[in-house]
Structures are given as C-alpha cells and as structure tokens.
Amino acid sequence: MNISMITTSHILAEVRNTTEMMLKKARDQMRHLKPKAINSLKHLRSLEAQVVQERAHLKEMKQLFVTTVAGLRDELNNQKDILDGHMRSAGTRNVTELRIRSKLLEYKAKQMYDLEMVVHSWDMGDKVQLPTGGHGSVRCRHDRIYVRNDGNDL
C-alpha cells in the first residue's frame, strides 16, 4: 500500500466517524424534541377548539344583539308612527316639536339598522373602526360583544 491509499482510507474513516457522530447527535436531538412537538401540537389543537367555541358564542351573541336592535328599531318606528298620528290630529299645535321628535326617532331607527348591519359582518378578532377614532378588535366575553381598542394603528 502506498501513502496516498493510506491517507485516503484515513480520510474516509474520519468522514465516516464524523458522519456517524453527527447522525447520532441529530437522532438524540429529534428524540428530545419529539415530546415537545407532540405537546405543542396538543396545545395548538386545544386552542383551536377554544377558538371554535368562542366563534360559536360570538355568533350567538351577535344574533341576540341583532334581535334586540331589531326590536328597538321596530319600537322606534312604532313611536314615530304614533307621533305622526299625533301630528295629523294636532293640526298646527306643537307641530314643530312633534316634527323634531319624529325626525329624531327616524334618525335613531336608521342608526339601529346601520348598527345591525355592521354587527352582522363582525367576526371574532376582526379589526373595526371605533367611533372615537382608532381601531379595535371584536371580542365576546360574559355574554357581551365588545370592541377592544387596539390603538390608532391598524
């Protein structure tokens, strides 16, 4: 055997040893990380189930809210109809005041309808424009729908 063959054999043996050490180290790391990955996956599935429950709860709350708003809107429309009847029967007496009340009730009924339409489009975590400026995220807790202020940035 000549020197170049011995050197090549020596180099191949070193490469083989290094490769085996690296494979062993990789297997050890995988054995160590596998339980953590399994636990993380279980936790993720648990969180996913919780999100599904929260979405279902939000949907129920939205429906309750929409039903309540629709009832209030109908009541406001009934009040407006009553005021319109009073205006017709009152002739010229207090007509201005009755007209102002009628317009106010009409405006509030429109606001209720607009609010009802907005709530229909909400979903858990959606970004929404706050009336005071800025943005928030839709949340549902303790049988109430609310918007958490996320600051002024979207």
CA distance 40 to 27: 20
Per-residue pLDDT of 36-76, as tens digits, reads 999 999 999 999 999 888 888 888 888 888 788 788 878 88
Residues 113 and 145 reside in one and the same domain: no
Q: Are residues 21 and 80 in the same domain?
A: yes
- The total of other beta-carbon atoms located within 10 Å of residue 90's CB is 13
Verify that 145 and 98 share a domain, yes or no.
no
Residues 109 and 151 reside in one and the same domain: no
Q: Which residues contact 79 (CB under 8 A, 6 or more apart)?
A: 105
The Cα 83–Cα 124 span in angstroms is 40
Residues 109 and 93 in one domain: yes
Give the pLDDT confidence score for residue 107 in this predicted structure.
79
Task: Report how far residue 96's alpha carbon sits from residue 36's, in angstroms, rounded to the nearest whole number.
Answer: 74
Report for 42-46, 128-132, 135-139: range of highest mean pLDDT: 42-46
Say if residue 43 is in the same domain as residue 82: yes
Q: Are residues 107 and 127 in the same domain?
A: no
User: What number is the average pLDDT over the span 117-143?
Assistant: 56
Q: How many CB atoms lie within 10 A of CB 108?
A: 16
Please tell me whether residues 92 and 141 are part of one structural domain.
no
| 40 in the same domain as 53 | yes
Q: Is there a single domain that holds both residue 113 and residue 148?
A: no
| Boundaries of domain holding 145 | 123-154
**pTM confidence score:** 0.43
Q: Note the pLDDT tens digit of each residue in 94-118.
A: 667 777 777 887 777 777 666 666 6
